[in-house]
Structure 1
Amino acid sequence: MTYPLSRRACLAGGLSLSLLRPAHAAPATLSFDELYASFSALGLVYSDKVKALTGQPIRMQGFMAPPLKAEAQFFVLTEIPMALCPFCSTDADWPDNILVVYLDRKRTFTPPNQRIEARGVLERGSWTDPETGFVSQLRLRGARFDVA
């Protein structure tokens, strides 16, 4: 015996399907100008978008700052290409727009003038890497990157 579908059942089913998020949905995109809402006497104020995306997978394009080692498990993503390692020169101004990227595994890095896209889970808040002592405010964890 078959039951005809009512209009109400079709609408309810369609609404239920529209609320489901596929498991393979693309990560949200975040740009450097969306990281902070403002600067205050207390420091940087995260944007509402960063607050909403914390703990979520995101993707972000930028440039890899020259690393300390040829192969490592983290790097600094910058808005503009950098010719010098920001850790190696006291004269170089550290850019305001950075994001630390902790890779899911060690990788050999790309040239600093090549645009890349990093993908990982966004973390915010001050954190000191126990291995390197590097302090960060924003990070991607379990990240991967590809040429953009």
Structure 2
Amino acid sequence: MTKLIKICTSIMLGMIVSGIPLCYPPAKQTVPYQEPSLFFPTATAAPFWSAWLSDPPQQLNFDEFYSSSSSLGLIFSEKLQSLQGSRITITGFMAPPLKPTLTFFVLTQVPMSICPFCSSDADWPNNIAVVKLPDSQTALPFDQPVTVTGILELGSQLDEETGFVSLVRIRADTVKKVE
């Protein structure tokens, strides 16, 4: 029972942090019959879907992550903070993963030749992002750029499975090799 409460609490906190309301008021708009929605052919569409689907992702660059640093650590830039919970797109390089099938990977501004678990954090640049994948995916070549689109998450987080600590995360919708 305690484990179930922890899981439910984690889900609710995740929804709150990502800006998803726990309940939705009745929608005031309906989808016109001639223009079916992806999810609701002729029914009332939830307001958050239409905004999420219609707004293009905001472009983010690695040099826009932090405004400065202090004795307490890195300080997020105003732009990064304003994009928290929003759909963003960013281009970088997949760091060498531990295994060929991934559920997450580290996105870096420049190609890296070492994996995050094979060296100390002193060898890693500050402006990296952990990319969480919706499904397992095969690793892409780590010397070619990839473009990631997804929801931006900020704040220190420890992955209990791997022990990896991240400040910037992206819940990816898509990961595409740049041609």
Q: TM-score band (shorter)?
A: 0.7 to 0.9
**2:126 aligned with 1:114, yes or no?**
no
Give the root-mean-square deviation of aligned CA atoms: 2.0
TM superposition shift of 1:143: 3.7
- CA distance in structure 2 between the aligned counterparts of 1:96 and 1:51, rounded to whole angstroms: 16
**2:133 aligned with 1:103, yes or no?**
yes
**2:60 aligned with 1:62, yes or no?**
no
Contact 1:36 1:47 in 2 (8 A): yes
Scaled by the length of structure 2, the TM-score of the pair is: 0.67
TM superposition shift of 1:22: 7.9
- Match for residue 35 of structure 2? none
TM superposition shift of 1:64: 0.3
Structure with greater helix share of residues: 2
State the percentage of identical aligned residues.
49
TM superposition shift of 1:25: 2.3
Alpha-carbon distance change, 48 to 67 in structure 1, aligned in 2, over 3 angstroms: same
Alpha-carbon distance change, 57 to 93 in structure 1, aligned in 2, over 3 angstroms: same
- CA distance in structure 1 between the aligned counterparts of 2:78 and 2:56, rounded to whole angstroms: 20
- Match for residue 67 of structure 2? 37
**2:75 aligned with 1:75, yes or no?**
no
- Match for residue 52 of structure 1? 82
Q: Size of the alignment, in residue pairs?
A: 129
Structure with greater strand share of residues: 1
Shifted more, 126-135 versus 86-95: the winner is: 86-95
Q: Which runs of 5+ in 2 are unaligned?
A: 1-49
Consecutive aligned runs of 4 or more in structure 1 exceeding 6 Å deviation: none
Deviations along 1:25-77, one digit per CA (max 9) or x if unpaired, are: 21001000000010111111000011100001101000000001110110000
**Which of 112, 121, 127 pairs up with 2:157?**
127
TM superposition shift of 1:21: 6.2
Contact 1:28 1:57 in 2 (8 A): yes
Q: Which runs of 5+ in 1 are unaligned?
A: 1-19
Higher relative contact order (CA 8 A, sep 6+): 1
Residue aligned with 2:82, SS: helix
